[in-house]
Each structure stands twice: as structure tokens, then as C-alpha cells.
Amino acid sequence: MSSSSANAIPTPAALPAPAGGQARPGLWGQFIAAAGRQNYIGLILPAIILALWQASASFGWVDKVFLPEPAKVVTAFWTMLTKQYLAQDFLSSVSIVGQAFIYGSLAALVLGVAAGLSQKVEQFFGPTFDTIRHIPGIAWLPLIVLWLGIGAPAKILVIAKSVFFPVFLNTLQGIRNVDKNYIELSRVLTLTRAQLVRKIILPAAAPNIMVSLRYAAGLAWALVVVAEGLSGLEGLGFLIFRAQGLLLTDQLMVCMAIIGLVGFAIDRGMFWLQRRVLRWKQGYDG
């Protein structure tokens, strides 16, 4: 078979782009479109919650020590940002999550691909991984703190462990679910094993992989709060536990709002990346 005829056979990585002559928006435009693809009806509930919050503070339904009014929370945010160390603590949390996500997901992708391609590799790691993954990451924290202290490495390791298993399992499952017709196609095209993985297996498993990465990113951001609260002297998690102990409810709510908004931004960003990576898959909508 000639190389020209081989190139004419579509593979998962080379499917035709959607029809239409309209120019595609730039990267930033695509991100904004993905982030804003929420129906405005979704803003109704937050508005109701904010109104009830303000009413409860104004009419004294709840003690302001436990539920300060929104204006006081905004003031606390500005004070923490300009006169305290909110920015430094925020960047500390972002750094820990970023490193843990990168280390955990990269290790999971490498081992997930290896286990997906080889049953012997899966059998080698399987029993050990199945045991370790059922031990919550937070349960490892006391032991890891004994080993590494209360610094960033301990928190990174705990979060990376929690990131690892969803990505590993979904990568493994995605590769095992690759259409057998694609494997037969690779034999017809006489692809090498490396070409088979790069051009057929990874693109076909990409939906599973991207979904797991999106989930793992959100999980990492949520876990940093607990990790910093239980073993740390900085970060948003530390601020939350400190504010709770001092009854600084306004500062506690500032940190909670930041965590929620950043978590939403992370999810929207991963959704945008997911759609961009899978743009070859016609009709895919996350």
C-alpha cells in the first residue's frame, strides 16, 4: 500500500474539522465563550442567596458574629488584601495545587498508558494500587508530616496521590476501550508501536483522559484547604482554620468565596481545554 493511500485513511487524530466557512475565534475568545456558556438562569439562585443573606443580617435573624453582612465581608477582603498576607497565602495555595496536579497527573498518565498497553504491567501494579487508593489522602497526611515536616512537600505529596488515581484509572480504562477496528487499521498501515500509541490509542482514549484531568484539578484545589488547615502555617486553608478559631467569620467567608470562585475558574478552564483538545471529535460537548 502506498504512503498516499495510507494517509487518506482517517484516524482519531485526523478526523475532518466541522464544516463551515466561518473563522474560528482566537484562544482567548474560545476560553471566554466556554466560560460564559452558562445560562443566565444560573444567576438567579446566587442573587436569592445574597438577598436572604443581607436580609438576615439587616433584620437580625442570625447573630452577626456567625453571619456578618455582605458589606463587612467585602471590607474584610480589602483589609486582608492590603494590610495582611492574603495574596501571599493565595499564591502559596496555587503553587502547591499546581505542583501536585502536574506531578500526580504526569505519573498517572505514564503508568496508565503502560498498564493499558500491557496486562503484565497492570498485574504488577494492580494489587498495590488498589490497596493504596482506598486510603484517603488526608489519612496519609499525619505520616507524611512525620517524614517531611509541615512544609509544602508534604502537602504536595498528599494532593498528588489523590490526583494520581482518578487519572490513572481513567487512562487505563480509556486505552482498554479503544475500538479494535483502530488496532486492525494500525496493522494494515504497518504502524510502529510508538506510532500506534501516538496516532491512534492516545487520541481515542483522550475523552477519558481529559475528563479525569478536569476532575482531578478540582479535587486538588479542594484538598489543599484541608491539607493546609491540618499541616501548615500559610495558605487559604490555614487562614480558614485560623479565622474559625478566632471567630473571624468575615475573614473565613472571604477565604471560602475565593476558594469557590477559583474552583469555578479552574473547572471552566479545564472544560475549555477539554473542548480544544477534543475539537477533532465532532459533536463533542464535554
At 156 the pLDDT is 94
At 15 the pLDDT is 46
Task: Report, in this order, helix, strand and coil percent for the chain, each rounded to 5.
Answer: 75, 0, 25
How confident is the model over 147-206, as pLDDT tens digits? 988 889 999 999 999 999 999 999 999 999 888 787 777 777 777 778 888 888 888 899
**Is it the case that residue 17 has pLDDT exceeding 50?**
no
How many CB atoms are located within 10 Å of the residue 269 CB? 15
**Interatomic CA distance for residues 124 and 128, integer angstroms:** 8
At 230 the pLDDT is 83
Angle between helices 119-132 and 152-176 (to 10 degrees): 140
List Cα–Cα distances, 128 to 78, 134, 156, 184, 187, in angstroms.
48, 10, 21, 33, 34
**Interatomic CA distance for residues 70 and 51, integer angstroms:** 10
pLDDT band at 6 (very low <50, low <70, confident <90, very high): very low
- Helix and strand element counts for the chain (H, E): 13, 0
| Domains of the chain, first to last | 63-277 (1.10.3720.10)
- Look at residues 134, 136, 266, 117 and name the one whose alpha carbon lies nearest to residue 197: 117
Contact predicate 194/220, CB 8 Å: no
At 99 the pLDDT is 97
Task: Give the H or E element holding residue 23.
Answer: none
How confident is the model over 254-266, as pLDDT tens digits? 999 999 999 999 9
Task: Give the H or E element holding residue 229.
Answer: helix 202-230
- Look at residues 12, 76, 75 and name the one whose alpha carbon lies nearest to residue 279: 12
pLDDT band at 84 (very low <50, low <70, confident <90, very high): confident
At 57 the pLDDT is 83
Percent of the chain beyond pLDDT 90?
A: 51
State which amino acid sits at residue 118: S
Between 42 and 170, where is the model more confident?
170
Mapped onto helix, strand or coil, the DSSP state of residue 39 is coil
How confident is the model over 206-231, as pLDDT tens digits? 999 999 999 999 999 999 998 998 87
Between 130 and 12, where is the model more confident?
130
pLDDT band at 20 (very low <50, low <70, confident <90, very high): very low
Contact predicate 27/268, CB 8 Å: no
Distance in angstroms between the alpha carbons of the first and the last residue of the chain: 37
How many CB atoms are located within 10 Å of the residue 170 CB? 22
Residues sharing a CB contact under 8 Å with residue 107, sequence separation 6 or more, in sequence order: 160, 164, 168
Return the C-alpha cell found at 241: 482554620
